[in-house]
């Protein structure tokens, strides 16, 4: 119920921002923005998972290609009491994984080629259990919608910046156009962080801790996931996902970027060390 309220809130914020941006182009711009907001809201709810999978060129894999992977997902899904999600492979050597979909009946789990090469079966089981836990607790709808919203806001704000730069916004005279151009530039500077802040509000660090705990129980051994997280952190440092979209980074089990940068200020991932400590504490 809480996640559903968050989703509606985010879709409402998206609509308001689009309409405000559209108003800079006059009444016709506002009407177009309103129509576009309704269309994107509908698309975000029903198809944002497909957009994210396409963004990372993920391909669905048949059961005969990766039988052990399908077997683990089916076993964990039965333990969680949910339908078996579809399984996708991402063509990337960065070791990582994420789940997406609006509910357990429309869920997918995506893993990179790198994670299959890096982890042993028990560690991979721990990662898959973490993602299945997200699916079970319906964390993934709000995560995927937030990613779509953040990407859309940044894209529209970027268009507004260029329109302001070339004097294509608002006003019938130069003075008014210059003022609106400056406002447009200011809006872009503000809206980009807002996109990250929306994600920060949508996905709390507590949900990652809960998914870790739930995953540990599903796979039967907290150390499976603890050992996997340790390897994944090192793997991402050695081979960061350079093509990753910052607006979707929160979907992954570990942050796909390496090093300390501005993205870490808005990170929804708890520190790996703390996650490992909590998992190891469950064994005691």
CA distance 221 to 141: 27
Look at the alpha carbons of 133, 136, 142, 144 in this order and tell me if their dihedral is positive or negative: positive
Letter string b/e over residues 18-27, b meaning 16 or more CB atoms within 10 A of that residue's CB = bbebbebbee
176 carries an active-site annotation? no
Contact yes or no for 94/235 (Cβ under 8 A): yes
Annotated active-site residue in 123, 131, 208, 213: 131
Element spanning 112, H or E: strand 108-112
Encoded tokens for 191: 């809206």
Task: Answer for the pair 72, 124: CB distance below 8 angstroms, yes or no.
Answer: yes
End-to-end CA distance of the chain: 34
Cβ atoms of residues 152 and 16 within 8 Å: no
Per the structure block, which two tokens stand in for 91? 């063509």
The structure tokens 């808005």 sit at 266
**Could you tell me if 11 and 142 are in contact, meaning their C-beta atoms sit under 8 angstroms apart?**
no
Distance CA(70)–CA(73), nearest Å, equals 5
The gap from C-alpha 264 to its chain's centroid, in whole angstroms, comes to: 15
CB of 93 closer than 8 Å to CB of 239: yes
Active-site residues, by number, are: 131
């Amino acid at each position: 119920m809480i996640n559903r309220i968050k989703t509606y809130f985010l879709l409402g914020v998206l609509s308001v921002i689009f309409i405000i941006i559209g108003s800079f182009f006059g009444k016709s711009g506002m009407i177009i923005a309103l129509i576009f907001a309704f269309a994107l809201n509908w698309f975000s709810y029903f198809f944002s998972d497909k957009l994210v999978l396409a963004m990372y060129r993920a391909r669905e894999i048949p059961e005969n290609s990766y039988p052990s992977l399908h077997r683990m997902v089916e076993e964990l899904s039965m333990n969680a009491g949910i339908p078996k999600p579809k399984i996708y492979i991402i063509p990337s050597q960065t070791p990582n994984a994420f789940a997406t979909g609006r509910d357990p009946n429309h869920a997918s789990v995506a893993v990179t080629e790198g994670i299959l090469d890096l982890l042993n079966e028990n560690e991979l089981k721990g990662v898959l259990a973490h993602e299945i836990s997200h699916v079970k607790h319906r964390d993934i709808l709000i995560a995927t919608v937030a990613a779509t919203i953040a990407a859309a806001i940044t894209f529209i704000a970027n268009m507004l910046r260029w329109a302001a730069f070339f004097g294509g916004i608002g006003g019938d005279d130069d003075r008014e156009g210059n003022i609106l151009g400056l406002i447009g530039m200011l809006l872009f500077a503000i809206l980009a962080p807002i996109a990250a802040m929306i994600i920060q509000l949508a996905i709390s660090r507590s949900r990652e801790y809960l998914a870790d705990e739930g995953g540990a129980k599903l796979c039967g051994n907290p150390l499976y996931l603890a050992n996997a997280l340790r390897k994944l952190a090192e793997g991402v440092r050695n081979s960061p996902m350079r093509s990753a979209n910052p607006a979707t980074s929160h979907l992954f089990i570990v942050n796909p970027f390496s090093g300390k940068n501005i993205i870490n200020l808005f990170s929804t991932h708890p520190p790996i060390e703390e996650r490992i400590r909590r998992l190891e504490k469950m064994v005691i």
